[in-house]
Structures are given as C-alpha cells and as structure tokens.
Chain A
Amino acid sequence: MTPGNPAYNIPVAYRIRGAPDIALLELSVNQIVQRHEVWRTTFREFEGDAIQEIHPESRIRISTTDLGQVPTEDREREAERLVAQEAIQPFDLCQLPLLRVSLFKLDDHNYVLLINFHHIVGDGVSVNLLFNELDLLYRSAIAGTTPALPELTVQYADFAAWQRAELLRTRYSSQLEYWRRQFEKELPVLEFATGERQLLRQSFSGSNVNFSLPRPLVQALMSLGLQESGTLFITILTAIQVILLRYSMVEEIVIGTPIANRPLPEVDRSIGNFVNVVALRCDLSGNPLFLELLRRNKEVALNSLTNKDIPFELLVENLKSHHRPGHNPIFQILLQILPASHVGIGDLSVTPFDFELKATQTDLALHLYEQAGGEILARLQYCKDLFAAETIEGLSRNFAQLLEEICRNPHQKILEIPIPALPLTSDGRPEQNVVPDAGLQAEPVRAYEPPRNSVQSHLIEIWEEVLQRKPIGIRDDYFELGGHSLLAAKIVSLISERLGYRLSFGEFFTKPTIENHALALTGAKSPARQSPSVAIHPAGTKTPVLFFHGDYVGGGFFCKTLASVIGTDRPFYAIHPHGLQGDYVPPTIEAMAADRLKVIREIQPRGPYILGGYCNGAFSAYHTARVLRAAGEEVTVLLMLYADGSNMRFRWLKRLTGVASALRGEDEAASLQRFLRTRQRLVDREDMTRYYLRTTADLIRRPSWEKAAPFLRRVGRLFGIKSAVSSTSARGSVPPTDARGAPYSPLGKPYADACNSFIAEECDAPVVLLWPREEKPLARRGPAAGWEKICRQIEVVEVPGHHHSCISQNANVVQTGQAMKKAIQQAESLLPITSS
C-alpha cells in the first residue's frame, strides 16, 4: 500500500433523513475511537519496517458543511461533488487521524454522512462494526443511558502480532509454495481489444458506473449456484471472467477478491484491517460450458481459501519478477460481494448515498452490495486513464445481460452466450468474437432443431406463417414463441386444410411443440398397435382405391387430398410402406407386396380391384396386380404415380448374376448385392457415355479450350472402372426430401436397393402411368418409361411437379387426383356389367 494514496481510502456515505444530534454523534464516534486502538494508530517506516504507534487519545471532530446557501435544486449535486472530493483526500499515515467523519446538511431533515478511513486501519467488516456500535452508542447517548457494548478482548495490533508468529511457525512456507506454483507461469495482462491506452505508470484516477441486479435475477443466480454447490460469489466470478474474455480474448484471468480473514472468534468484533486479498487465477481455455467454468472456479477458490493466510503484500514481494509496471501487481480486476447490512443511527432513517469514486486501486473493480429487499446494487469502478466511460457503461450493460442469459440457459459454451454488440477495435473493425447486434427482436438463442420429416416441415411452414416468426424449430414451445389461443385455432384449421388431419386443442396444448404435434398426427405409438393402412371415408359405396403411398418419410398425407378429389363416395385406403411405423422392411418389392397382400385381402376379399401407388409403392402395386391377376382376380385399373419402368432393361443382368451366385453358392442377399453393384457400374457408364456424347456434340458446335481440357482428361479414363460422374440416383426410387434439405431417411437405402433390384414381369391389367412433367423426359426410356415393354395396356398422363413436389405441393396433388378420378371412371365404364 502506497502510503497516503487515496486509492486505499474506504469512504462510505449515507443519507440521513431526520435531524441528527451532531454533538451526540460526535461523542459516539469518539467513544468508538477510544475503544478501538487501531484508530489511534499511526504508521512509520523505520529501516524497512512499518512501525505502529498507538496513541492514548485521538479527538475526532465531525466536519459539518451547511449547503443552505446553495440553491435548492443544486444541493444534491453539490453534496455529491463534495462527498466525492472528500473521499479522495489522502491520509497521512504518520499522523492522526486516519479516520474522518463529515456531515453535509441539505436541509433540516436531510443530511449526508461520510465516513472515510484508510484501509490500513479497517476493512469492509469494520464498516459494519462501526455502524453497529455507532447506533448503540448514539441511542444510549440520546436516552442518557450507559451503553452496553461487548468487551473487546483482542485489539488489532495483538492479533497482527499473533498472526505473524503463527505464519512463521506453521503455514508460511507451504502456503507460499502454493502461490508460487499458481503464478509460476507468466501472468496474463488483461488488455481490452478496444485498444485502450497502455500505461507506463499505474494511474489511480478512477470513476464508476452503477447498476442494479433485480431480486428475481439474484435469486435465479443463487439457485444456479446452489445447483452446483457453489455460491453466488463463484457464479458472479465466472460471469465476470466470461464478459472479460469476450472483451479481451485472453485465456487466463486473475481476479483478486478481499477475504475477511478473521480466523479467531475473539476478533469478530474488532475493527481493523483483517482483510487479505486473494488472487484467483482461472483457466478459461477450451470454450467450456458455463457450468464447467463454474466448477473450475470452485476448485480454484477452494484451494485459494486454504492458502489465504499469506498477506498479499508478501506475495507481491515474492513474485516480484511478474510485476508489470502500470498495473496493480498480480491482479487487475477486483471483485467483492458485501452482504446486506442494516444501517441505522438511532431513530434516523439511513440509506446508502451514491457518489463517484474518483480513485481506484485496480483497473477494474466490481463491488456488489446485497440489499435487504433481495436486489443487489453494483458499482463498477474503473481506471479513467485506461477506459472510456462509454466502454465501461457498455460493459456493465452487457454484464447484466450475460447474467440473465446464463440463468436462462446455463448449458451454453462461454464463447457462444449471446450478448449485444461488443466493442469495436480502435480502427473501427468489429472484433472476431462479436455477436451480431441482436436488436429488439432477438434471435432465438436455444438450439434450433430443424425438421426431420415432411410432416414437421409442413407444420413449421404453418407456424411461421401464422406467428410471423422465423425460424421456428421443432422443439420450440408455442407460447414461448408468443403464440396465443386464437392463433392456435388458426393453426389447427390450416393443419386440417393442408394435411387433412384435425388436431384437437387438447393435443395442441398438452405439449405445444411441432415435434409433439407431428407425433400426434402420425399417431406414432408402438408399431405393434399400428394398422398398416388408413381408411379414408370407408363408408363410400363404390369400389375402393387401394393405394400404396410409398411415402416412408412423410407418412402419405397427400392421400387425404387425393381421396377427397377422387370423391367421398369412393373409399380410399392408404397403405403404408414398411418401416414407416418402425416395422421390419423386407429386402425386395416382391416380399413387401406379399406381406401387404394380407391387408388387401382383409379390406377387399374379392375383385374387381383398383390399385395404385407412388414411387416404390407403385412397384408394390404393380406386383400385387400381377399376383391378383394370376389368382384369377379382376383388376380394373392400376394407377402408377411416378414409376420408372426402365430398370427392366437389367433383366438380363439379374439372370446373369443369379446364375453366378448359384455357382458360387451365395444366398439371396449376397446375390442381390452382387446385382446391385454391377448394375450401378453400368448405370454410371451409361451416364458417362451420355455425358461424353453430349459434350462432344457441344464442342463440335462451339469449340472452347476450357471445356475441352477436362473433357479430354476424362476421355482418357473412359474405359476405367472409376466413374467420373457421380451417380447417386437410383432410377425409379428417389428418397423423398423436404424443402429444407433435411437428412435422408435411414429407409432411403433399403428402398433404393429394393427398387433397383425390382425387375417387373408382364402384366395384362390396364395401367395408367401418371408422370410428373418436370421429371426428366421418359422418352429416353421409352414412350411409357419402359413399361410399354411389359404392359399390354398402358396409358400415360402428365401431372404437374417433379418427383417430390407431385405429392408435397397440394395444388399438384389436386390435379393428380383429378387425373386419377378420370382414369378410374374411364376404366370402370369399360367394365362388363356384373351383378355385384
């Protein structure tokens, strides 16, 4: 402690409402000074040692200033100015008094009391003790009774001597060892990325910013700390580190904290400087979770407390090599939390009085004062020669925001906790770690969960439209997004309109997230209780449509629209593909169809049958039609939506690989894989050939070196095994994707394999191929996508969309439904009239 440096003053100011008896107040103060030797002590340096001299008497006079001459509206400001000025008047440690009491009178019932002393004679706890005694003494003086103050057995000087002896005898070396190890590594110096000035000599010129933490926030912070068996202090400590990290990007921060080191109960009531400052050095590397960092701090704090007896000054001496000029030794940041103390003086009303602390020991100091009402008043002190007021004001706002964020979600990584725009560097560029300015409409901060299937996608579209919020994740709570009951009604009606399913309000509000609603809609419970088909208006009188919808990702909701367009007088059965409800997926189309035949027979035991399907479902329907025909049943019409018949060109390959597998003794699964591998190579080569032919023609028309060079390279690899063109699409079965590019379903591969290995045989049922006109022209494969080779009667009808939008866009589904209706009517009109 630099003698006389006002940065080491402890000024405390209170507003008094009432009329204090100044004489009795002065009397009480002097009684306290008489009682506690430390306030009659001066300090001299003699041959390198600090010599304490205890004087038998010290007379304190309360300096009173009457602000009656100051205009009423200016008195507050003037009082504040005078208090701030007096607070930084230095003390001469060689002379008494080292305690000053000032009273400022604003009017007859409005005073400000300032008590100021040098840190060498007292600490934070001493202030509370002082006021307790002052209250007691003042009351007794007013009442004219004898004060009943508890006896002081130990004076500060005695304790200090005892402490020194103890340290020397026992824990000195081991504690020093701990600290030496803690600060072995180069100490990091905190520098704000805002390019604040560097100091050559430590400046004590300071100011402060005040703010408060509301009671609910404080309670939330406390319960957060409790969860981790930590304290409010540790939580705040961690938060300070995070905010400083974001401002300066260092990996280690050292924060000093005063510890009221009163190890003996005898000194509980003693006034004096028992405090020791302990430096907490924490490792912030690795972008840990906030809670993880909290735990690290707990550990550091625990160890530091075990080694708290070494006076800080001693530490500074021993770690002299680490001292950086221009800053407080060892730590630049101070943090302390002071508990609520009820201050009263007799019957006078006493409340804290705010003023500017114009001196500061450290670059930054955060003082938190717990209040009786549960909130916390915070004062962020800073060195004026290092930081601009705006920077610190911003810091305090961001800090408060950070505290709210961590209460909201403590499971965040410290670099990812969102706070509004952080300061720019000195040349105006934003720091790399700046979180974009959130503004008033903050981005949702919890993990955004994208949709995983098309039902969820549909629901998200509806919610975003109705709530006018974006983006919405599948786990976001409806109410937390700002939704209310009328909008819920709108959402439910849109779901009914677009997906054909009615969600009840009960279902809506029980767990109001998209994920849960999608589950309710697709009725995903245990697969065993699921029916493989959905009956849509089963009460109709006409021949039912049995439709293999093939939509193993989305659940086939487009069937509701199809059914509705085809007509409510015709029952429509949507038959689920295997795997949709978590059931086993057979490896071939034939096996899938055979398994579903049971369901078909249950719904409709005898023909004539109207069958249909989409994609893989169309293949299943085709095979089913063949089987039923072979069993002598009538098939009125088979409606195939987006089914590519060109795979039949590999019939020869299937036979060939079948023979090869038989020779090798391979089982069916292995044979299938062999076929698929070879087929893929052929498909790649076909694609390549097409590419070469096209490019050659192109180059002949318009020669260009940019195009020719890579092409010539590829020609060299023409007969190689590796394909230059990647070919992921399996003709005939493209796994459905949704508009957001959500990951393909795990059913994608089994279905692709099943479709690619399906070689259809001849069928004499009337077939209508509904082809999405945006798909690649089927002319490449034949006038009816290859089906014309095996179907006796086939008609091709174009429908809007491409392979997926033909079922995902409602408008397209409506048109497809109309085409189907027409095809059914035509086919039925050709049937011979039978007695049904």
Chain B
Amino acid sequence: MIPSSAVPWTPALQHPSLRAGEVHVWRASLSENDPAELGQLLSTGEWMRAQRFHFARDRARFMCGRGLLRRILGRYLDLDPRNLRFAEGPHGKPELAGVDSSLRFNLSHSDDLMLLAVTYTRAVGIDLELMRDNMPVETLADYYFEPEDAWGLRLLPPAQRMWKFYELWTSTEARLKADGVGIARGLKVLEPNRWSLLKLTPAEGYAAALAVEGEDFHVACWSWQK
C-alpha cells in the first residue's frame, strides 16, 4: 500500500525556504499562466524546442512549464531565472548545471497541470497523470506490470481498476524518474527498497506519486501564485 499524502496544497504567497530533509512539491496550472511572459525566461535552446511543437497548445504548455521551472528554481537559488542552465544526466534526466548547489528537482506535467518536486541532495522523482477512462488498463497492466500487480488489478471491481492502474503507473514512473533512468529500459524498478513513495492528489481527476531516496523527510505542498 502506498501511503497517501494528507499534506494540503498551500498557496505560496511568499517564497518558502527549503530546509534540509524537506521536499517541496509545487503545483501550477499551465493554462492560467501567460506563455508569452514565461517564454521570456527561456534559453534559446528551450525556445527553439518550443517552436517545434506542432500544436499551439502544446507549445504554450511547454513554455509555461519551463518558464515556471526557471522561476521557482531561481527563487530557491536566488538567481535570475534566465541565467539558469540545465544539463541532461546519463539517461536524459534534466539537472541543474553550473551552479554550486545540491538542489535537486524533478518535473512532471499532464494536460493543464504541472508538478515540481525540489529537495536538497536526495534523488527525487515525480509523476503526474490525468486519469482517462478510455485507457485499456487491464491490457496495459498485463503488458507492463509485474504479474502479481496485473492479477491484483483484475481482482478488483471494475470501478476501482482505473485508480489502481494509475497508482501503479505513477509510482513506477516516479521511481524510474528519481533514478534518472526513465522508462526507456522498460518498467522494471531495479531497487525498490531505495525509494520512499507518497501518493499525491494535486487536483480532481489527477493521479500523482512522489519518490524520494531514503526515509525521514518532510513534505510541503505549494500552489503557485502568479
């Protein structure tokens, strides 16, 4: 059983400071923010990537997501958001580069919402999915999950299967993202004991999971205010 977070989403009126042993999770709307304004913060590379999106809505969401990432991280680091530089880890996980800081982060977005997890030193991963009822959850579970999880899903009454599927999916993704590996190698979590998992409910109809290295940490959830 993955524990559910009872932490409320507090509107961040002032920028909160991050202490050791804390994990901050930010939630922000990708449609209520202005892509033109946030787009100003992007690097040339990010901006060019934004232009490659076929559809305007995806482009706008990408620009807002990256812009907010820069803005929020900029506040923690006390740096101009435009000056932040990012690099990719060995399997493509985005990381901060050229900064003398042990700040680690992970980003996930689905449809109109985004989640950003930030902490010091520990590896962290987060996954967010808008739950859709047209997902063939039994087939996908059979295909991707461990046999006992897939079987367990089928044993549930049909109305609960979607929830269970998304719980399994987001918790797997969160750990794979925390590890920096992602799903390119498949959905097997190699070191399940390394991670602590927490289920989050950032908005109605969304499933989310947070994976943090180790134990003994405190989670604070923040809602981004413009």
Contacts and interface: CB of A to CB of B under 8 A. Distances in A.
Contacts of B58: 480-482
A504 to B, nearest CB: 7
Interface string B31-75: 000001001101110111001111111100000000000000000
13 contacts: A214-B40, A216-B44, A220-B44, A441-B56, A445-B54, A446-B54, A469-B55, A476-B54, A486-B173, A492-B143, A505-B184, A505-B185, A506-B185
Contact of B40 (A216, A486, A506): A216
A545 B199 CA distance: 52
B140 interface: yes
A617 to B, nearest CB: 32
B52 A214 contact: no
Nearest to B36: A214
A444 B54 contact: yes
A493 interface: yes
Interface string A492-525: 1100110000001110011000000000000000
A482 B55 contact: yes
A375 B44 CA distance: 12
Interface of B: 36, 39-40, 42-44, 46-48, 51-58, 82, 110, 129, 135-136, 139-140, 143-144, 169, 173, 182-187
Interface string A467-501: 00100000011001110111011101100110000
A328 interface: no
A480 B53 contact: yes
Contact of B54 (A214, A220, A407, A442): A442
Contact of B143 (A219, A484, A493): A493
B35 to A, nearest CB: 11
B143 A441 contact: no
A485 B56 contact: no
Interface of A: 214-217, 219-220, 223, 375, 404, 407-408, 438, 440-442, 444-446, 469, 476-477, 480-482, 484-486, 488-490, 492-493, 496-497, 504-506, 509-510
Contact of A469 (B43, B48, B54): B54
B46 A490 contact: no
A212 to B, nearest CB: 9
Given A486-B169, A488-B183, A492-B143, 4 more contacts: A214-B39, A408-B52, A480-B58, A493-B140
Contacts of B187: 505
Given A223-B44, A442-B56, A486-B129, A505 B186 contact: yes
Nearest to A506: B184
A306 B220 CA distance: 66
A514 to B, nearest CB: 14
A498 to B, nearest CB: 12
B57 A440 contact: yes
A216 B55 contact: no
B8 to A, nearest CB: 27
B51 A485 contact: no
A481 B139 CA distance: 24
Nearest to B39: A214
Mostly, the A contact residues are helix
Given A493-B136, A505-B185, A216 B43 contact: yes
Given A493-B139, A506-B185, A441 B48 contact: no
Closest 8 CB pairs of A and B: A216-B47, A408-B51, A444-B54, A482-B58, A219-B44, A214-B40, A442-B56, A480-B52
A485 B183 contact: yes
Nearest to B60: A440
Contacts of A438: 56
A210 to B, nearest CB: 14
B159 to A, nearest CB: 20
A216 B52 CA distance: 14
Nearest to A477: B52
Contacts of A493: 136, 139-140, 143
Given A408-B52, A442-B54, A485 B173 contact: yes
B57 A489 contact: no
Contact of A490 (B48, B53, B57, B136): B136
Contacts of A440: 56-57
A482 B53 contact: yes
A39 to B, nearest CB: 39
Contacts of B48: 216, 220, 407-408
A215 B47 CA distance: 10
Contacts of A510: 184
A159 to B, nearest CB: 41
B51 A484 contact: no
Nearest to B52: A480
A576 B144 CA distance: 31
B181 to A, nearest CB: 11
A493 B56 CA distance: 28
Nearest to A407: B51
Contacts of A490: 135-136, 140
Contacts of B52: 408, 477, 480
Contacts of A489: 140, 143-144, 183
B54 A484 contact: no
A509 B51 CA distance: 20
B183 A216 contact: no
A490 B173 CA distance: 15
A216 B56 contact: no
A172 to B, nearest CB: 45
Contacts of B46: 216
Nearest to A212: B40
A216 B173 contact: no
Contacts of B57: 440-441, 482
A496 B143 contact: yes
A417 to B, nearest CB: 13
Contacts of B144: 489
Residue of A217, A375, A486, A488 ringed by the most chain B CB atoms within 10 A: A486
B183 A481 contact: no
Nearest to A509: B184
A480 B43 contact: no
B174 to A, nearest CB: 12
Contacts of A216: 39-40, 42-44, 46-48
A520 to B, nearest CB: 14
Residue of A438, A442, A476 ringed by the most chain B CB atoms within 10 A: A442
Contacts of B42: 216
A215 B36 CA distance: 11
Nearest to B176: A485
A220 B143 CA distance: 44
A378 B175 CA distance: 47
Nearest to B139: A493
A287 B54 CA distance: 24
Contacts of B53: 480, 482
A637 to B, nearest CB: 35
A4 to B, nearest CB: 42
A647 to B, nearest CB: 45
A485 to B, nearest CB: 5
A440 B144 CA distance: 36
A96 to B, nearest CB: 45
A571 B52 CA distance: 47
B59 to A, nearest CB: 8
A489 B36 CA distance: 32
B51 A404 contact: yes
B182 to A, nearest CB: 8
Given A214-B36, A482-B54, A509-B184, A220 B47 contact: yes
A510 B173 CA distance: 18
Contacts of B143: 489, 492-493, 496
